[in-house]
Chains A and B, each alone.
Chain A
């Protein structure tokens, strides 16, 4: 924040003083001005109002309607009450998809929280090569997800021709069937998702680390605190706000995983990687049952709200301490 503010600071102040040479009288806003501002504001807000109206607010409202309707785009939509939800809950795939999504989320966080944090702490203490480290960490994020997924699909090739099996073969492990195995498929997807996402987390933690006041470290050091004590008693508590927000964002993002299971495994093998979003996609675009798909979206939204609320409640005592 400060950096950009300071960047404009120069010219802004220069022009402001020049402008002040003209006699400036601050008049209270009168009715006419207020109305003119309202009109001008409307003109400038028009693009946003149109775009958000059509593509954000309308679909949100529409979701709540569609969930209780039967829509297949051929016959006119009809109200069906809770029928869509009944269809969903009688689908044996739903508990499977929910568990798979949960498993994916747990695995992603098990790697996605500690590893980027550790990397960021180490990177913040680099005296040389900091930029190189940042670029290396962020490079995978720049690779389009589809490319990352297709590339890793090649790495995960079963048999000895796959790069990962060849690598593990060097230490006498494998070959593993990876994406063809119901047990290994989901962890493989987590590896790819982490590869694509960890860089962002590292950079966010790094930015938060530079915000920790150096005076605190100074004082702790004078009091004889060891490096580990400084990390535990200063760095982590100072960063808890960022850690908590980022963790919540990671949870919300992981619950909505789609590209990896869709492109790499298409939900297989034996439905081991069917996620909630994949089910929504299939209901809508494979079976043309938009009402049920929207009902599942609404359920997903409710789950996300509950998760966020519970999360904020659980972490409240810690974050405001």
Chain B
């Protein structure tokens, strides 16, 4: 994600990525009628495709959530419900006990986020700033887990939370079973460590001369300077935690403790489609709102992760 543009621009690049002066096509190309018409047409097709791809299914979900089931079957392609059944949403909320499951989801997401943030920030600080002699071995061991897909260790992880080694605790059916494994996320440590490494070390040395301990440096200097990366890690971890399905399905088999994502497929079997879709809509609104509000940071975060590969 190197900022494009020539040297004199670089000052203005700070706040946001500067618009590219040219891409594959130059301003001159855009003046040529054949290219102009051709690319305009392709862009129109692109937008039509993107709307059909990204917006229509979600708009349809909104429409279906406030429709009668019979209306849904008779006019599946319409986006206007006839009649509009706004009461579907409160009915579904009560019928499917969505408030309860949504609260479970929120608790799981919040806990996973905090655990991941604490682990990533402290480990990143230790590895990038304190740099103990054994740091590279620990970092290596952390990076190794990037190459072991979570589904491969799924069963062993399940047996671990069923009977924690040394402690002998069973944490299934408690939020801890989701919170703690969420912290074992090597990629966020990698992101945070690389960011911390770019902070000038003079700062830490000066603070140490002033008598600051490592914790003061961490809390007063490093964390306040690291808001952008902490935001990226937070957003990625929150979005991931919200989407989690297989792991909570396995470790939370008591319906009381399940998040919405696990409860919905179970409830789907004997629920009126319209109510079910109202439930789906409720589960989708929070992540979509978070995305729309923070889309700039989230999209930047994706580019980030992609380049790191």
Contacts and interface: CB of A to CB of B under 8 A. Distances in A.
Contacts of A121: 24
Interface in B214-238: 214, 218, 225-226, 228-229, 232
A106 interface: no
Contacts of B302: 138, 200, 203-204, 207
A9 interface: yes
Given A9-B14, A166-B76, A4 B60 contact: no
Interface stretch (A91-99, A123-131, A180-188, A310-318): A123-131
Contacts of A170: 77
Interface in A157-179: 157, 161-163, 166-167, 170
Question: Could you say which of A135, A147, A152 has the most chain B C-beta atoms within 10 Å of its C-beta?
Answer: A147
Given A124-B23, A144-B261, A147-B280, A52 B141 contact: yes
Given A22-B206, A280-B154, A38 B133 contact: yes
A18 to B, nearest CB: 9
Nearest to B54: A136
Question: Could you say which of B21, B210, B229, B291 has the most chain A C-beta atoms within 10 Å of its C-beta?
Answer: B291
Nearest to B49: A119
A38 B134 contact: yes
B106 interface: no
A40 interface: yes
Contacts of B7: none
Contacts of B200: 12-13, 16
B206 A252 contact: no
A80 interface: no
Interface residues of B, number: 131
Given A60-B148, A207-B302, A20 B202 contact: yes
Given A55-B183, A58-B160, A290-B155, A140 B53 contact: yes
Contacts, number: 373
B58 A125 contact: no
A218 B225 contact: no
Nearest to A248: B309
Contacts of B195: 4, 8
B64 to A, nearest CB: 7
B115 interface: yes
B82 to A, nearest CB: 15
B149 A34 contact: no
Given A48-B189, A293-B155, A301-B149, A146 B132 contact: no
Interface of A: 1-13, 15-16, 19-20, 22, 24, 26, 34, 37-38, 40-49, 51-52, 54-60, 62-63, 66, 71, 73, 119, 121-127, 129, 131, 133-140, 142-147, 149-152, 154-155, 157, 161-163, 166-167, 170, 195, 198-200, 203-211, 213-214, 217-218, 221, 227, 230-231, 234-235, 242, 245-246, 249, 252, 256, 258-259, 262-263, 277, 280-281, 284-285, 290, 293-294, 297-298, 300-301, 304
16 contacts: A12-B203, A42-B132, A45-B126, A71-B159, A125-B25, A133-B50, A140-B54, A145-B245, A146-B283, A150-B268, A151-B57, A204-B306, A208-B307, A227-B35, A252-B149, A280-B154
The 10 closest A-B pairs by CB, nearest first: A207-B303, A204-B306, A41-B132, A19-B206, A48-B123, A136-B54, A161-B73, A44-B126, A245-B309, A59-B156
Interface of B: 1-4, 13-14, 16-17, 20-26, 28-30, 35, 39, 42-43, 46-47, 49-51, 53-55, 57-58, 60-61, 64, 72-74, 76-77, 115, 118-119, 122-123, 125-127, 130-135, 138, 141-142, 145, 148-149, 151-162, 164-165, 180-181, 183-184, 186, 189, 195, 198-200, 202-203, 205-207, 209-210, 214, 218, 225-226, 228-229, 232, 239, 242-243, 245-246, 250, 261-262, 264-265, 268, 273, 276-277, 280, 283-284, 287-288, 290-292, 295, 298-300, 302-307, 309
